[in-house]
Amino acid sequence: FSVALRCHGKRCRPFANSTLNKAIPRPILIATSPLAKIQKRYAAQAGASNGTWRPVSVLDEWVAKEARPISLRQLMVFGRSLTESRLISSANYVRTELPVRIAHRIRDMQQLPYVVVTNPHIEEVYQLYYKAFDTFRKFKEIKTLEDNEKFCEVISQNLKGHLTVIPKLAMGILECGRLMDPKELDHFMNVILRSRISRRVIAEQHLSLTETFNSPYFSPGATLSESDFIGEVFIKCFAKDVISRCAKAVTQLARSTNGPQVQVPEVKIDGHLNASFPYILSHLEYIVGELLRNSVQAVIDRHQQQPDHASSPPPPIEVTICEAQEHVIIRISDRGGGIPRDELPYLWSFSKGPQSQKRLENLGQVPRMAATMQELHVTDELGRADLKAPTYLGSLSTLTSRPPNLRLGMGLPLSRVYAEYWAGSLNLHSLEGYGVDAFLQISRLGNKNEQLTTRASMDA
């Protein structure tokens, strides 16, 4: 098809010709006469009596519902004193919320140009999403702890099954870079990734609460202390501790990928060393880990090019923590020479960039990805992982492992999606020939709702 067939408003019909799954509605949208014949043929194949489109009312029904966003504070308050009835309410919130959130993204996909949505990678994600949508919308109301156990099984299976989503989407988007306005593609990718994070947060939070509830040490209604996690939410996340642990992990990674002889820059931390805030630890580790990884590698590469590099250590990476009334800002400054001019316009793009072909090749080697620091298999001298791995991921580390030196080219844009999801921001300033300053702003009070819709920075 050289013609982009677009989804027609809200209606869609079963795609009778699909070799994949006949029950899954496919986006076929054709409006005017040159294509009317095809439209009719498909309609007839679908068994529509008079050749008109059959509405897929079930999806429409769910798309019509609004997502109900939550804040970190709500997650904490809700999980702070856990009882059976709270656990059951949590289960039913997830049961009804997941299909709403997935339905919106299915509709977004249906509205992509036909050539994009039929890209095999995007199509695979579409099928996966439709299946998950169907599974969750059909799940009966959860009334007992036994129902909840079954529900948790389904969530876990879906969390594992959806580990292919990030590499698939990333490959699809790169392959479609020339078929659609890259800005629109990037916008689509940002929304779909943000929504994915949101679904995983509510699903993982529920699994965590269930795990807490089932623990032999748990007494219903008991209130947790400040230093604890409530589900996946780390109540008092100290910026300095997270940065130190990520720096250690990134240093080990740099040694293993550049060789033990290489001089790795020191990471110095100053500023408000006691700053803390509630956050999902794995999100913060991912962002800080990616920023430090970029800085460390840039400094190593630049230092190697200096004639006297063997006799002098590389310049340190300086991290400053600034605690303001509503935000914590983390600035990461390196002297790695700045970002090459040809890469600057594509820094935040999933769909375009000078290394697109290489990125595609590398992504092809990563069938599954959780987008956490843990999956890079960072271990200490004793072979132990240094970062807290989410429990549900524990047994998955081998499933998601990827060669740590592969550059997928999405660390920065994905970090920004994570930062903006909890109403924060991520920006870079490159000083050509000198280095980069990265600014990560985090909402400190945990009272901001998850940001499910468009990215402010993209719309600007």
What angle in degrees, to the nearest 10, is found between the helix axes of 411-421 and 281-305? 150
Q: Which is nearer to ligand COI, 112 or 299 (CB)?
A: 112
- Quote the strand ranges of 260-342, DSSP E: 267-271, 276-280, 317-323, 327-334
> Residue for token digits 């820059």?
265
Q: Which is nearer to ligand COI, 293 or 402 (CB)?
A: 402
Q: How far is CA 31 from CA 2, 3, 7, 180, 381, in A?
A: 16, 12, 9, 19, 63
CB of 395 to ligand COI, least distance (A): 17
Tell me the C-alpha distance between 418 and 416, whole Å: 5
For 11, counting Cβ atoms within 10 Å of its Cβ (0-12 exposed, 13-18 middle, 19+ buried), the class is middle
Q: Which is nearer to ligand COI, 40 or 160 (CB)?
A: 160
Q: Which is nearer to ligand COI, 200 or 245 (CB)?
A: 200
CB of 155 to ligand COI, least distance (A): 5
Q: Which is nearer to ligand COI, 46 or 152 (CB)?
A: 152
Kindly list the residues in this chain that would bind ligand COI in the complex (CB under 6 A). Answer: 98, 132, 155, 158-159, 162, 165, 196, 199-200, 203
For residue 205, give the nearest of 197, 193, 215, 216 by alpha carbon. 197
Q: Which is nearer to ligand COI, 158 or 362 (CB)?
A: 158
Q: Which is nearer to ligand COI, 132 or 233 (CB)?
A: 132
Tell me the C-alpha distance between 115 and 391, whole Å: 39
CB of 24 to ligand COI, least distance (A): 16
CB of 426 to ligand COI, least distance (A): 22
CB of 223 to ligand COI, least distance (A): 28
Q: Which is nearer to ligand COI, 98 or 291 (CB)?
A: 98
Tell me the C-alpha distance between 460 and 458, whole Å: 5
CB of 114 to ligand COI, least distance (A): 23
Tell me the C-alpha distance between 285 and 265, whole Å: 19
CB of 161 to ligand COI, least distance (A): 8
Q: What is the DSSP letter of 374?
A: G
For 13, counting Cβ atoms within 10 Å of its Cβ (0-12 exposed, 13-18 middle, 19+ buried), the class is buried
Tell me the C-alpha distance between 345 and 354, whole Å: 10
Q: Which is nearer to ligand COI, 274 or 391 (CB)?
A: 391
* 133: Cα within 13 Å, side-chain hemisphere: 24
Give residue number: closest CB to ligand COI: 162
CB of 247 to ligand COI, least distance (A): 29
- The answer to whether 262 touches 300, Cβ cutoff 8 Å, is yes
Tell me the C-alpha distance between 409 and 314, whole Å: 25
